[in-house]
Amino acid sequence: MRIATWNVNSITARLPRLLAWLESSGTDVLCIQETKCTAEQFPADELRELGYESAVNATGRWNGVALLSRVGLADVVTGLPGGPEYDGAQEPRAVSATCGPVRVWSVYVPNGREVAHEHYAYKLRWLEALRAAVAQDATGDRPFAVLGDYNIAPTDQDVWDIAVFEGATHVTEPERAALAALREAGLRDVVPRPLKYDHPFTYWDYRQLGFPKNKGMRIDLVYGNKPFAEAVTDSYVDREERKGKGASDHAPVVVDLDV
């Protein structure tokens, strides 16, 4: 079974690449972030033609997540149970479903913007709600994983130059403590194997030749419980999808399972 996560940075802009990638990659389940569309605008018909069912949590221009599956899509939960609001609304940042033998979440963790910004405090509250929501599945016997854009680099080695990020979000101690809380709840960081470079970055800024210079970050993560992690046979970042015209600034993270 092949599961992947990909921040597409607008499914409308990325649709031709997405459809081609699904056809060529052999992916059974795909977690998508930053759809940047409403649920009505989501290209469910085009995806259905390729054999994928869709579960979507999207409300408009920003954010938005989805799950695509060609191995079944059951017990869908839209949103983060108990999640905090921002500006009076719960943003569309989580969707979960059972896909064949695996329970899967697609999440788009708030960015945080700046450490002194209210969005940073909201990010930490959101992560605590996520920990509470997944605690039962994290210790269960069924393979379970939370995949997506966490907007956190777990270690200093997960950014191209830690000195550049001094005082910035994505690398602060409270954010990393939130990831540690997920691990303490029973989830493991499924780290992709290195390909071209020693460290498997997943995001590169469009500006200043970020991708050609490999000035990247590993912020798209796969956190799985023990049954999920023990079933992993391979994991890698598909860097090819970050190349060329019309690419997202994130690359897909692919995980193969023997379940």
151 is in an annotated binding site: yes
Please identify which residue in the block is written with the tokens 């997540």: 65
Q: How far apart are CA 191 and CA 213, in angstroms?
A: 22
Q: Is 49 annotated as a binding residue?
A: no
Is 119 annotated in some ligand binding site? Answer: no
Tokens 């009505």 belong to 40
Residue 57 marked as a ligand binder: no
Residue 158 assigned ligand-binding role: no
Residue type, 17: R
The closest of 18, 43, 36, 128 to 91, measured between CA atoms, is 36
Q: Has 230 been labeled as part of a binding site? A: no
Contact 158, 164 (CB under 8 A): no
Active-site residue list? 108, 149, 250
The DSSP letter of residue 104 is: E
What are the backbone angles phi and psi of residue 234, rounded to the nearest 5°? Answer: -165, 155
Cβ atoms of 47 and 35 within 8 Å: the answer is no
Q: How many CB atoms lie within 10 A of CB 151?
A: 23
Q: Which residues are part of a known binding site for Mg(2+)?
A: 7, 34, 149, 151, 249-250
